[in-house]
Amino acid sequence: MTDIFRQAFDSTATPTAITDATGRLVEVNTAFAEAAGRDPARLMGARAADILDGLPERLTGFLDVAVVLKPAENIVVRAACTTAPLPSGGAVLTLRPAPEMAGWPYQMIVEAMEDGITIRAADGRIIGSNRAARQILGGLTDPYFIRPDGTPLPPADHPAIMALDTGNAVAAIIGIKATDGKVRWIQVNSVLIEHPEAGTAVVSSFAEINTLVETQRRLAESERRFRAIFDHTFEFIGLLDMNGRLIEVNATALNFIGKELTDVVGLHFADTPWWTHSPEDQARLRDGIKRASAGEFVRFETTHTDNDGVVATIDFSLRAVRDQAGNVAFLIPEGRDITHLKQAEDALLAAKLEAEAANRAKSTFLATISHELRTPLNAVIGFSDTIISEVFGPLGNARYLEYVQLIHSAGSHLRDIIEDILDVARIEIGEVVLREEAMNVQTSLDGVVRLMALKAEERHVDLSVAVPTDLPLLYADPLRIRQIVLNLLSNAIKFTPAQGRVILSVAHSPEGLTLTVSDTGIGIRAEDLDSIWTPFFQSDMSLARRFGGNGLGLPIVRHYVTAHDGTIGVDSVPGKGTTFTVSLPAGRLRGHDGGNQMARGLASSR
């Protein structure tokens, strides 16, 4: 067969074959191979009578006979076959639909359809099918049908059989599972017809929907995962339409009010049990829905009452979700139960207020008792001072004079302690008021330096003071500044052994005024550097007994420095010494003062 005739032969839609003189197939076109459900190469040499049941063994003359094809297991196709003899002794065979298929044009349309079509007789046998049906069903070996959930489909539940049994049209999704485990999903629609030969029959149309089923499976899995997260979160989450009506809500929110989804879905959110306990909150919610529908994020604190009447504090929000065009499509309400958090905050606030009240009571008590102690103590110090001066005559015994001096010294020390306690009490109850003025630093510190020089001399400690002569005036409380320097120098001298050194230096710069007190004393342990600012703190009780002190000096210093908008820092090396640095801001400097009350610049005493 020439190429041109081969192309024409294969392109015709009429199933056509050529046999030799023995009745064996020597040529078949594509349409014939599809009708037979075989590969063209496998048809070559086959007996035509074996392929077309009902075809005579010997093909003589022109014949028109009814034949049956079996393109696949359990599928039967009825057709009419016309034979035309050839000079070689062979014949040309052409197939056309059986008479009951209502004509060849109709068969051509059915054959060209993408959906598979089968006709079953009342006994369940397939008595007709199109090309698509043969392609879908013909490639499987011993298939069996399964439901969408994977369980076997009983024959009685097949749509075609159900249509035959009930007389109604039946539609279903079923799977065709081959022995290799592969499943092909089809959508089947079956309806009864009256067949001209078989009588009552059923026509089934079906199409492969593997992609659709897989998409639905993934969507179902995604929905399952979303629902698991949606329902098991601790937060209340829902979905509202643009009018505020409830579309969806999670199990957490439903369990809170003891309701089912059907009880609340479709209601305006403000009319659901979460909100009906408070008309004020309902109005606030309705306003929030309007604002959220306009794209605004809404958040406020509210309360919900649960099924047992327990009121919970809720952190509530409304967020708009937009579609691809940027328009608000729906709203997501969220609520988080913050009852325990609010209770903890309230408890913390109550504890804070209670602690502050207790602290004020303590400070008031200290101030009161200190005042009560100071009054008689002043009398003790005053009278002992009079006795020491022997204003009314000599004591007559040196031992008495020694005792009175001890009384005066101890009383003065006790008075200093009481003054410190009073200062701390005033600080803690907020009674310290700065009396600020433009002060000359040199003049103000002169008296402090002279007093500390005597103390340093008693302990055989070298006290050096370095103060520039061009310091600007400092806008501050002179009494508090002197107290800062006095406390720092007193500590430095106290904890510096004999032959040690203490240095007081003052400097100014564009950043402000810096006051430094350094010593070569015993130093402070690193782990105690944060604690030295705590009232009554003593890093080592043996040192407290050895050097004295009450642990109030440094807390008082830091408060006074902070009150002047300043900072204080400390650097220390145990066994080598300590340096305290007080920094006051430039805003407190008031130009330069040429006074030279401490023109010596460096005063030392041993």
Higher pLDDT, 454 or 78: 454
CA dihedral (289, 294, 296, 300) in degrees, to 10, reads -10
Segment 28-37 mean pLDDT: 87
Residue 573 CA, chain-centre distance (Å), reads 46
pLDDT value at residue 334: 94
pLDDT at 541 over 60: no
Structure token digits, residue 317? 């929000």
Task: Report the 3 state secondary structure along 252-320.
Answer: HHHHHHCCCHHHHCCCEHHHCCCCCCCHHHHHHHHHHHHHHHCCCCEEEEEEEECCCCCEEEEEEEEEE
pTM, rounded to two decimals: 0.41
Cβ contact 435:564 at 8 Å: no
Domains of the chain, earliest start first: 3-104 (3.30.450.20), 113-215 (3.30.450.20), 233-337 (3.30.450.20), 343-428 (1.10.287), 437-605 (3.30.565.10)
Q: Using CA of residue 164, residue 166, residue 167, residue 170, what is the dihedral sign?
A: negative
* C-beta of residue 283 within 8 angstroms of C-beta of residue 233: no
The predicted structure's pLDDT at residue 258: 92
N-term to C-term CA, the chain: 134
Q: Taking the mean position of all CA atoms in its chain, how far away is CA 32?
A: 66
Place of tokens 């008590």: 365
Question: Residue 189: is its pLDDT beyond 70?
Answer: yes
Task: Please tell me the predicted confidence (pLDDT) of residue 278.
Answer: 92
| Burial class of 523 by CB neighbour count within 10 A (0 to 12, 13 to 18, 19+) | middle
The residue ranking higher by pLDDT, 203 or 371, is 203
Range list of β-strands (E), 196-271: 199-208, 236-240, 246-249
pLDDT of residue 592: 46
E strand map for 380-482:
437-439, 462-466, 472-476
CA–CA distance, 15 with 30 (Å, rounded to integer): 7
How many CB atoms lie under 10 A from the CB of residue 437? 12
Tokens of residue 585, six digits: 């801001």
Q: Looking at residue 582, what is its pLDDT?
A: 96
Quote the pLDDT of residue 416: 73
Q: Please choose, from the candidates 119, 266, 280, the residue with its C-alpha nearest in 3D space to the C-alpha of residue 194.
A: 119
- Token pair, residue 45, equals 């040499």
Distance, in Å, from the CA atom of 543 to the CA atom of 566, rounded to the nearest integer, reads 30
State the Cα–Cα distance between residues 289 and 246, nearest whole angstrom: 12
Contacts 24+ apart (CB under 8 A), 426-431: 426/363, 426/367, 427/555, 427/556, 427/559, 428/359, 428/360, 428/362, 428/363, 429/360, 429/363, 429/364, 429/367
Query: For 389-442, what is each residue's pLDDT tens digit?
Result: 887 888 778 888 888 888 877 777 777 777 777 777 777 767 678 889 999 999
> 358-371 pLDDT, tens per residue?
877 776 776 677 67
User: CB of 273 within 8 A of CB of 257?
Assistant: yes
Is residue 109 over pLDDT 90?
Answer: no
pLDDT, tens only, 146-184: 888 888 989 889 898 899 889 888 989 998 887 777 888
List alpha helices for 40-169, DSSP H.
40-43, 48-51, 104-112, 131-138, 159-166
Judged against a pLDDT cut of 50, whether residue 596 lies above it is answered with: no
